[in-house]
Copies of this chain bind each other. A is one copy, B any other.
Amino acid sequence: MATVLIVSPHPDDEVLGAGGYIKKRSKAGDRIVVLTVSGHLPPLYPPGVYQKTLAEAKEAHKILGVAESVYLEIPATQVHTTPVHELNGKIAAAVAKYRPQTVLCPYPDRHIDHRAVFDSALVATRPVGQGVCVEMLAAYETLSETHWNAPHIEPNFTPTWVVDISAEMDAKAVALACFASQIAEFPHPRSVEAARALAMFRGTQAGFSYGEGFHVIRMRS
């Protein structure tokens, strides 16, 4: 049994970016751990908001077969003001505890929390110390935020790895639909239809019906 660690800035990013892959690997008998760093917490959001999203995430994780869900509960937009060694330490601790072969992190994009999480995930998975267990480190795309990076000023997502999720597309759509507080109606950029269109685009360009694209950062074999 292999272990996959998905580092997610906020509840729903892991499903947007890797919901199909999570389902595929959990069906194959692998252990999936989702580490969610932040959320819509006070003081910027009223107390109930996060609880609602958390409940949605739990439902989605159940559908996808997530084995363990860990929540760091740092308030949204404050991830980058958390002391760097502290955030790095928490993600490194998860790597040390679960010893994943595969780690997926967010692509650094328009959402400042995504950048901070990307930075810490990169440090925690360096190929020294606890990081030597990691055979694949890749970044997933987060619908809308990733595609709002400034073209040709900031990095722009182009996948180097596409996973066939044709058999998992429906489960991903159902899991996404759990996030009633986050996912809106088409033509919203973060709708189930938009997610399905992206998956069809990524998939067909790689020879599949539906796919999820990743940017391979460091593969070791």
Contacts and interface: CB of A to CB of B under 8 A. Distances in A.
A132 B205 CA distance: 11
B84 A112 contact: yes
Identical subunits present: 6
Contact of A132 (B77, B112, B207, B217): B207
Contact of A208 (B44, B85, B187, B205): B187
Contacts of A112: 84, 119
Interface residues of A, number: 65
Contact of A215 (B119, B152, B203): B152
Interface of A: 44, 77, 80, 83-85, 107-108, 110, 112, 118-119, 122-123, 126-128, 131-132, 139, 143-144, 147-148, 150-156, 158-164, 166, 186-189, 191, 193-194, 196-198, 200-201, 203-209, 215-221
